[in-house]
């Protein structure tokens, strides 16, 4: 803890495989695409409750994509050992 009462945030670094990184990147793209499509679809809804729930779905898709991006930002890709 610092003298001003705040705490130092220690970010843990993760090492992931390139295959796992690619899967996460594809999932992020799919979530963002689905969120954009669902946001457009909400324009056709008439019931305010349906619109509200649909926009909550969009928000959760975008939050999940952002959470995964933050994870990838804190990760590094493991370099496979060469077979000799």
Q: Total domain count for the chain?
A: 1
Nearest-angstrom CA–CA distance, 71 and 53: 27
Q: Over the stretch 41-50, which tens digit does the pLDDT of each residue have?
A: 999 999 999 9
For the chain, the 3-state helix, strand and coil shares in percent, each to the nearest 5, are 60, 5, 30
- State which residues form the domain around 48: 14-73
Kindly indicate the confidence band of residue 8, based on its pLDDT and cuts at 50, 70 and 90. low
Q: Over the stretch 59-81, which tens digit does the pLDDT of each residue have?
A: 999 999 999 999 999 998 888 77
Nearest-angstrom CA–CA distance, 22 and 31: 14
pTM > 0.85: no
55 within domain boundaries: yes
Given this model, what pLDDT does residue 81 score? 74
State both tokens at 56. 């909550």
CA 32 to chain centre: 9
4 within domain boundaries: no
């Amino acid at each position: 803890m610092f003298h001003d009462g705040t705490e130092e945030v220690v970010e843990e670094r993760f090492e992931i495989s390139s295959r796992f990184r690619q899967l996460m990147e594809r999932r992020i793209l799919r979530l963002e695409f689905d969120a954009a499509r669902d946001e457009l679809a909400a324009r056709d809804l008439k019931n305010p409750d349906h619109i509200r729930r649909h926009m909550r779905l969009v928000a959760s898709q975008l939050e999940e994509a952002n959470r995964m991006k933050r994870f990838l930002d804190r990760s590094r890709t493991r370099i496979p050992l060469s077979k000799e």
